[in-house]
Amino acid sequence: FPVRMDDGTVKVFHGFRVQHNSVRGPGKGGIRYHPEVTLDETRALAALMTLKCSVLNLPYGGAKGGVICDPATMSLGELERLTRRYTVEIAPLIGPDTDIPAPDIGTNARVMAWVMDTYSKLKGYGCPAIVTGKPIEIGGSKGRLEATGRGCLINARSIMAHLGKELKGSVVAVQGFGNVGSVTARLLARDGCKVIGITDVFGGIYSEGGLDVEEVNRHCQQTGSVVGFPGSQSLNNAELLALKCDLLVPAASGNQIHATNASAVKASVVLEAANAPTTPEADEILRDKNILVVPDILANSGGVVVSYFEWVQGRQSFFWTEEEVNSQLERAMHAAFQDVLQTSVQRNMSLREAAYSVAVQRIATALDFRGIFP
């Protein structure tokens, strides 16, 4: 689809929206703006959304969207025009009862507001339930912005309790300091964890005694990166992934832990805050090393859980307090963690296999009841 750029030229962008499965409900999943977006990746991410919504028992299927672009190099006006035209192109596919987009890498509440406004203008009336992750001022939910990070914290507590360890005092390394990584790191630090390493796209920082994550966040807001945080040593991504720690949190993009670097991982637990950060080969290597992996579809599901709450609140035009949102999030995450853990113990499976098993079973049962039409 064409977009008029600030310099007057017209640039043609490629975008996708994939609906993977709708047996349990309408498609649900984010929109990604990144130079490396592909149709194949979007398909895989849509499939992960189907499984994620099922493992959390949300009445949704799975979908995902993406546009090949580099939002970091685009002006606000260019991003708005790109978003509005992409929305027009996918408008026949999406809908509050068919497929509900949300933010993902490279998109945010502001982008969702443009999607919502464009879709509403096409329909002729306001349609807040067309997207989740909107600004609170136009029907977003309290707690949505922090929800993915908060979900990671809840899972970190659960996995440590399962191992008979205290989360307080645990040593943590976090890859990525965007919406997910920064909130996860801050909440873990508030819970008494020692965050020794953080990386972002520009580089990374290390402190043996632990970083002051709130200060790192302030530094990042001022300078645009964690790099150069006063009192820290610098470290690269490979070094971060190889840090000796209790909890390694990959919260950046996909395929970060792969066949060639997985054997260097020295964490006790990998908490997959990103989608698909571990390749299947790396997964096996981690398993051989007895490293527990809390899989993405469980670990990072806090975002879509609160997306569901946002959708429900919007449809009822009745909005909850932040305490209500967070306590419902906690309830949903605990239930899912227990379902997965129980399956993993009973069937002697990894947590990832158990999460897939729980998810696929629910989808299969739903399909069985619904049957085949006609």
Residues with catalytic function: 64
Q: Least CB distance from residue 155 to ligand GLU, whole Å? A: 14
Considering only residues 266-325, where is the footprint of ligand GLU by CB under 6 A? 275, 300, 303-304, 307
How far are the Cα atoms of 165, 173, 191, 221 from residue 156, in angstroms, in the given order?
Answer: 11, 13, 10, 26
Q: Which is nearer to ligand GLU, 133 or 197 (CB)?
A: 133
Q: Least CB distance from residue 244 to ligand GLU, whole Å? A: 29
Single residue of 99, 104, 146, 283 touching ligand GLU by CB under 6 A: 104
Q: Least CB distance from residue 48 to ligand GLU, whole Å? A: 7
- Cβ atoms of residues 148 and 302 within 8 Å: yes
Stretch in the footprint of ligand GLU (CB under 6 A) among 26-34, 108-116, 117-125, 343-351:
26-34
Decide: is 21 part of the binding site for ligand GLU (CB under 6 A).
no
Q: Which token pair is 359?
A: 């998810």
Single residue of 27, 30, 197, 295 touching ligand GLU by CB under 6 A: 30
Q: Which token pair is 360?
A: 């696929």
Binding mask 128-157 for ligand GLU (x = CB under 6 A): ----x-------------------------
- Cβ atoms of residues 152 and 190 within 8 Å: no
Decide: is 102 part of the binding site for ligand GLU (CB under 6 A).
yes
- Cβ atoms of residues 281 and 262 within 8 Å: yes
Instruction: Give the Cβ contact number of residue 135 at 10 Å.
Output: 15
One-letter amino acid for residue 354 of the chain: A
Instruction: Give the Cβ contact number of residue 324 at 10 Å.
Output: 14
Query: Would you say the C-alpha torsion 107, 110, 116, 118 has a positive or negative sign?
Result: negative
Residues in contact with ligand GLU, total (CB under 6 A)? 11
Q: Which is nearer to ligand GLU, 229 or 337 (CB)?
A: 337
Instruction: Give the Cβ contact number of residue 367 at 10 Å.
Output: 13
- Residue ranges in contact with ligand GLU by CB under 6 A: 28-30, 102, 104, 132, 275, 300, 303-304, 307
